[in-house]
């Protein structure tokens, strides 16, 4: 059993303009990292377009249509202060969500043990009917609902180590007892949510905020104390990682001080739980990460750990 890398060139055609940190070069940097010999045994496939019905398990149809309709013929359409659409955005968003559902297909049917989805736009800030923070469709949420609907996954755990809180994922699953959302993130920081007291209707939301300046030791302690035991107790049938790498010490959008080894460590810890609870099944989707070199190295460390499973 192996690890699958899923991507698509259409994800390069989503462009929010000169100087925007969530830029196509992020995927180019990741692609270059995967050219290394380390990744020779990595299986690779293209992200299909998501079925609209798959996205509609999370987002209302009229919201999906509004995003499609907002697509500009040329130039940019502003969605919020830091999120906009280019002519290629809708297609990229379909491939991003489609990569996530395809990853679930391959993992749930045991074709591969784990999968990493290297696509953009990211997803964890997208709420039920609100695009924000560089996100349009919540890819991790679409993947979780896909696993539940198509493969009968009873419980799905989403673990998010992006430096920003996944307000969208929390919003979507706030009252869903079958999906756990667990997050480490810098706080106070964008988007403002993610305090320990936000626990969901069924105590299945787990927030472990970190402070600006915190490094790997604090991150690991938060994972060990607050998050990993809860994920283990939840006994998920599938673990989804919202894999953002902007908690890296060199990232310009966050103030945490993680390094590549911390991401690899968290990956291995989640793999141990996946091994115990769900035959090792992990789907990891790319969220943030804006220092190109650190992003590429962190993704490489994360996927190398997945491949060792």
Indicate which residues carry an active-site annotation: 125
Contact 234, 179 (CB under 8 A): no
CA dist 183 and 242 (Å) reads 9
Shorter beta-carbon distance to Zn ion: residue 22 or 106: 22
Binding to Zn ion (CB under 5 A): which residues in 269-308?
288
Residue 164 lies near Zn ion (rule: CB under 5 A) = yes
Instruction: Give the count of residues interacting with Zn ion (CB under 5 A).
Output: 5
In what side-by-side order are the strands of the sheet with 179-186?
43-46, 3-7, 114-117, 282-286, 238-243, 156-160, 179-186, 205-210
Does 194 engage in binding with Zn ion (CB under 5 A)? no
Residue closer to Zn ion (CB basis): 15 or 246: 246
Q: How far is the CB of 165 from Zn ion (least distance, A)?
A: 9
- What is the smallest separation between the CB atom of 43 and Zn ion, expressed in angstroms? 27
Closest to Zn ion by CB, 246 vs 260, is 246
User: Site map for Zn ion, 213-242, x if CB under 5 A?
Assistant: ------------------------------
CA pair distance 68, 192, nearest whole angstrom: 28
Tell which residue, 89, 149, 155, has the closest CA to residue 119.
89
Q: Tell me the per-residue interface mask from 26 to 55 with Zn ion, x by CB under 5 A, - otherwise.
A: ------------------------------
- Contact range with Zn ion by CB under 5 A, out of 54-62, 143-151, 162-170, 255-263: 162-170
Dihedral sign for Cα 234, 145, 299, 287, please.
negative
Which residue has its beta carbon closest to Zn ion?
288
The Cα 94–Cα 143 span in angstroms is 13
Q: Minimum Å distance from CB 4 to Zn ion?
A: 24
Nearer to Zn ion, 162 or 237 (CB): 162
102 — phi, psi (to 5°)?
A: -65, -40
Q: Which residues, 238 to 267, sit near Zn ion by CB under 5 A?
A: 244, 246
CB–CB of 84/17 below 8 Å? yes
CB atoms within 10 A of CB 281: 25
Instruction: Please identify, among the stretches 50-58, 107-115, 163-171, 269-277, the one whose residues bind Zn ion according to the rule CB under 5 A.
Output: 163-171
What is the distance between the alpha carbons of residues 231 and 295, in angstroms, rounded to a whole number?
A: 26
Identify the residue among 22, 105, 127, 162 touching Zn ion (CB under 5 A): 162
Instruction: By CB under 5 A, name the binding residues for Zn ion.
Output: 162, 164, 244, 246, 288
């Amino acid at each position: 059993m192996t690890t699958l890398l899923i991507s698509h060139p259409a994800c390069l055609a989503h462009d929010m303009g000169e100087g925007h940190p969530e830029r196509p070069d992020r995927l180019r940097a990741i692609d270059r990292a995967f050219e290394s010999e380390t990744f020779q045994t990595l299986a690779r496939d293209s992200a299909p377009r998501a079925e609209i019905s798959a996205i509609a398990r999370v987002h209302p149809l009229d919201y999906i249509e509004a995003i499609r309709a907002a697509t500009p013929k040329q130039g940019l359409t502003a969605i919020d202060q830091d999120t906009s659409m280019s002519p290629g955005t809708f297609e990229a968003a379909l491939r991003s969500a489609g990569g996530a559902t395809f990853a679930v297909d391959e993992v749930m049917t045991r074709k591969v043990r784990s999968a990493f989805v290297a696509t953009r736009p990211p997803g964890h800030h997208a709420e039920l009917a609100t695009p924000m923070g560089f996100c349009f469709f919540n890819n991790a949420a679409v993947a979780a609902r896909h696993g539940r609907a198509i493969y009968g996954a009873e419980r799905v755990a989403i673990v998010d180590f992006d430096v920003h809180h996944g307000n969208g994922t929390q919003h979507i699953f706030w009252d869903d007892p079958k999906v756990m959302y667990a997050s480490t993130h810098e706080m106070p920081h964008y988007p403002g949510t993610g305090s320990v007291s936000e626990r969901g209707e069924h105590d299945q939301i787990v927030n472990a905020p970190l402070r600006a300046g915190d490094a790997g030791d604090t991150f690991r302690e938060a994972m060990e104390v607050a998050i990993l035991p809860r994920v283990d107790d939840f006994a998920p049938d599938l673990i989804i990682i919202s894999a953002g790498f902007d908690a890296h010490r060199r990232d310009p959008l966050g103030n945490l001080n993680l390094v590549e080894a911390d991401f690899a460590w968290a990956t291995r810890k989640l793999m141990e739980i996946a091994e115990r609870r769900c035959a090792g099944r992990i789907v990891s989707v790319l969220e943030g990460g804006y220092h190109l070199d650190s992003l590429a190295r962190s993704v490489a460390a994360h996927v190398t750990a997945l491949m060792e499973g």
